Amino acid sequence: MTGKSPVAHGRHCHEKNHLLTLLVLWPCFTVGLLSGCSVLSPKQSALTDYESARKAIEDPEGVYRPEGKSAEAEGLGSGFLKQVGLGTSKRRDIEVARTHYAKADDLFEAAKDLEGTDRQKKFRAAAAEYKLAAKNWQSSGLEQDALLMAAESHFFAEDYYRAESMYADLVKEYPQNPYMDHIDSRRFEIADYWLKYDRSKPSPFVVVNVSDPRRPWNDTGGHGKRVLENVRLDNPTGRIGDDATMRLAMDHWEKERFEDAADTFADVRMTYPDSEHQFDAQRLELQSLLASYQGPQYSSIPVTTAQKRVEQIRRQFPQQSEEHREELQEAYAKVRFAMAERIWHQARYRRIRAEYGAAKFHYQRILDNYSDTPFAEKAQEALAAIQDKPDTPPQRFKALVWLLGGSSDDRPWRERTDAPVTE
């Protein structure tokens, strides 16, 4: 594994973004309506404005613009606390921060040429220097770069738990940082490693890891799922949001948590319609729905949803459907069998209660809609056996019904609508 700094050629890109903002919003100081903005004035070139703006940003004595969530949280309340001596200010020792950052860069570059434990030690030393740089210039573009490079150093030292914590801290403090896609990729790699490790070597929750810096203290698989969920929440429109969701769904599928798998595959289908995982997500959602179906005595939602998925897959992916024809045909057959089985159980229930009219109706539904299932022949035989039976069972307690003032029909809403209305 080789270490490549994501800010090797653009460490000051964040500061340049502020520079562009200053150039656009640079105030017009020239007196008179005809003088215009200083950027467009022929008396002052754009390069001069560029240098002035750059100096205003980089000059320690210039205007300081704190960044990050903690800086945004500082309002009137924090100003009042500072006045009474209870508030704290952001640490800002620029020269010390730059010194530590330069030293960290040297250590990082030197670590890339080493192997084994020497490589890990050098990367860890670089991470410590990057953290000092971030600590000495808080709420700045340099802090963003330093936090990122500290996480990168831990990543290449194979301290994956510390690396993921550093990436999470960076995203929490700077949710709009310019490295989100890169951070998501790193966190995805770490989560994928943890999930694979947990699948190959599962361990109870109470078992504590104290020797392997690549894994968290405990619950390796749970931490992997947590990281994937955070990737989805922190950057839902990012480059690998669909990859993280698909990987999370696959973990549910591999561990036979089929209801969770179906829901997560559905998230891929609905949230990322342009994802390259669309076909596989819908195909595996279909299989998860069928696997989560518990039988005719339970909810019909899995099979009815599975039927919709089969139809949509055939319409939306004709080429891939042809390549997976046998799998889809088998799934469709399972759906029709389950639907026919549910109707068969409804007919059987009505027949036991001697409600032969309802039983005949359900048997006929099987013959009309599911003639290609094994229940069609059974329905034909059952229908012939009750053909001469009355549609409704006889009332065997007429005297008791009369005594209690009841009616032979316990459904009063089915009374005739043409009955005279009495006032």
Arithmetic mean of pLDDT, 347-375 = 94
C-alpha–C-alpha distance, residues 327 and 183, integer Å: 37
Domain range 94-273, CATH architecture: Alpha Horseshoe (1.25)
Share of the chain above pLDDT 90, in %: 65
- The ranges assigned to domains in the chain are 13-65, 94-273, 353-410
Distances from the Cα of 168 to the Cα of 180, 221, 233, angstroms: 11, 18, 12
Rg (CA), the chain: 35
C-alpha–C-alpha distance, residues 408 and 398, integer Å: 8
Share of the chain above pLDDT 70, in %: 74
The pLDDT confidence band at residue 220, using thresholds 50, 70 and 90, is: very high
**How confident is the model at residue 272, as a pLDDT?**
94
Give yes or no for residue 77 having a pLDDT over 90: no
